[in-house]
Amino acid sequence: MNDLFNQWGNFLFHTRNVLFPVLVVALLFLFPPVAIGTVPGDYLLAMGLLMVTAGQVLRILTIGLAYIVRGGRHRRIYAENLVTDGVFAHCRNPLYVGNILIVMGFMFIAGNTTGLILGSLAFMVIYRLIVFSEERFLTEKFGQAYLDFCNDVPRWLPRLQGLRATISNFVFDWPAVAVKEYGTLFRSLMISLGLISWKLNLAGSLAQNKTPFIAATILIVSAYAIVRFLKKTERLRSMR
């Protein structure tokens, strides 16, 4: 059974850049958003925005303090070294926790309770399988050092004790955040904006609010284009 879980985890890691967007689109197609101005839809919208924000803050904090090279190599699970400082001293998978919060946040913003439940469960299962495969890889590569790390640091729920001291002991690397996170931040903002526009359109009130949405879209796209240009021309580099 463990080998089967490992195979699925590796497969999901390998296909995540295609599979995850397709899954989100499929969920929104099968369980479309509800109109804004409904109950409990508006409460779910507020919760969703908070979740997306929390997920992005966690990812930004993680990358800015001590980024981990665990994004894979040749689309396979890979790690250069065992990172145990920064946010990783408080949670073993902060980037994945951030991803789960962001994707679940989209489902909450949409406000379709069936899609919310199925989507949340699906992504939690997917990330659990990916983490299962990563943990096997890291155990084989780093041995007892990684097992000790697992015993000391929670897998999912960040340990808040000592987090302030951790943050104060690091120089925050804003260029690294901009270079490594601008794509995820762009998608988070644009998908959230798109879902809210969709909900307003269902309520028949998008026309009255189109000006701020157009302005927000121009601002987000412009910021994305600027950061991408600075990255590609190597004018923006990590301090590490």
Q: What is the pLDDT of residues 130-168, one digit of tens each?
A: 999 999 999 999 999 999 999 999 999 999 898 888 888
Angle ∠(188,190,195) on CA atoms, nearest 5: 95
pLDDT of residue 76: 61
Is 129:12 a contact under the CB 8 Å cutoff? yes
Q: Which residue has the higher pLDDT, 80 or 157?
A: 157
Residue 75 has a pLDDT of 53
- pLDDT one-digit tens code per residue, 199-217: 999 999 998 888 999 999 9
Put simply, whether the predicted model's pTM sits higher than 0.75 gets the answer yes
Question: Do 227 and 220 meet the contact criterion of CB atoms below 8 Å apart?
Answer: no
Residue 43 CA to residue 113 CA, distance in Å, equals: 12
The three-state secondary structure class of 76 is: strand
pLDDT tens string 45-63: 999 999 999 999 999 999 9
Which range, of 13-17, 18-22, 68-72, 91-95, averages the lowest pLDDT? 68-72
Q: Pick from 29, 19, 3, 2: which is nearest to 126 by CA?
A: 19
**The predicted structure's pLDDT at residue 41:** 87
Please give the single-letter amino acid code of residue 197.
S
Per-residue model confidence (pLDDT) at position 59? 95
Average pLDDT over residues 108-123: 95
How high is the pLDDT of residue 170? Answer: 82
Q: Quick check: 74 pLDDT over 70? A: no
**Domain 2-172 belongs in CATH node 1.10.1670:** no
As a whole number, mean pLDDT of residues 70-77 equals 55
Q: How far apart are CA 175 and CA 164, in angstroms?
A: 21
* pLDDT of the residue at 1: 77
Average pLDDT for 57-71: 79
Give the pLDDT of residue 54.
Answer: 97
> How many CB atoms lie under 10 A from the CB of residue 125?
12
- d(Cα 63, Cα 173) in Å, to the nearest integer? 8
pLDDT score for 42: 93
Q: Quick one: pLDDT at residue 33?
A: 96
Query: What ranges do the domains of the chain cover?
Result: 2-172
Instruction: Give the number of C-alpha atoms closer than 13 A to the C-alpha of residue 30, restricted to the C-beta side.
Output: 14
Per-chain mean pLDDT for the chain: 90
CA pair distance 100, 165, nearest whole angstrom? 26
Give pLDDT, residue 239.
Answer: 65
Is the pLDDT confidence value at 69 over 60? no
Please state, in angstroms and rounded to a whole number, the distance separating the CA atoms of residues 69 and 72.
7
pLDDT at res. 22:
93
